[in-house]
Amino acid sequence: MTAISSIDYAGWRTKLVAMATGSADTDGAHDSAHLERVWRNAQALLEHHPDADRLVVLAACYLHDLVNLPKNDPERDQASTRSARLARHQLAQMGFPFEKLDAVAHAIAAHSFSAAIPAETIEAKIVQDADRLDGLGLVGLARMFYIAGRMESCLAHPADPLGLERELDDRKYALDHIMVKLCKLPGMMQTAAGRELGEARLEQLLAFRAEFAAEWSGAGMVAG
């Protein structure tokens, strides 16, 4: 194993940023700023898990979206495994510690919601939670509408934004995505700290959803 004291984290971070930036498969919701936020989330979670391999988490955070397929791509569920394969190959060429390659690849493959690959290591659990946290809160809200715009979805159902009398469909209506997927994320978090942060950010989304629906429907407005 590589001794902790011999690991140049700053140097590896610089290399990983360059590798991730060189990927052409990016968009405004999965850009370099997203990678930085995921790593920042992961660092917060690492505070609660000093036993986790920090270098593995660092690498997986920056390389988890090397292959980024659109949300409505029929092969979307394969994006994380492709990213894992590409990351493993590129890291090996860069001289990344060989004994950590499998752990990085697993953390990348397991981060994806659509892939549904169980996170089996603490590093994979931290990366999965860190990525999902960026889908919640106000930043997550902005990302949700950005992605919906790229998919040419409507903002919300014209007459029933909350889906009280219809089946929710987040491919057609952006607002539906909060209840179809995002509200499930806190309960799926792998770490206690991730769940706590996720629940707090979900409250912001639910409050927005209620206020949006009221304004969308004209509730409380006085007719002219």
What is the chain's mean pLDDT, rounded?
Answer: 92
Q: Is 158 found in the same domain as 59?
A: no
pLDDT at 114 over 90: no
Domain finish residue from 121, 144, 168 = 121
Give the pTM.
0.91
pLDDT at 38 over 90: yes
Domain finish residue from 93, 121, 149 = 121
Dist CA 72 CA 176 (whole Å): 15
Which residue type sits at 18? A
Q: Per-residue pLDDT averaged across 53-61, rounded?
A: 98
Distances (CA, A) of 210 to 202, 204, 206: 12, 10, 6
pLDDT (tens digit per residue) in 119-176: 999 999 999 999 999 999 999 999 999 999 999 999 999 999 999 999 999 999 999 9
Residue 222 placed within a domain: no
Q: Is 200 found in the same domain as 105?
A: no
Residue 130 placed within a domain: no
Q: Is 21 found in the same domain as 109?
A: yes
Residue 210 placed within a domain: yes
178: CB partners within 8 A, 6+ apart: 144, 205, 206, 209
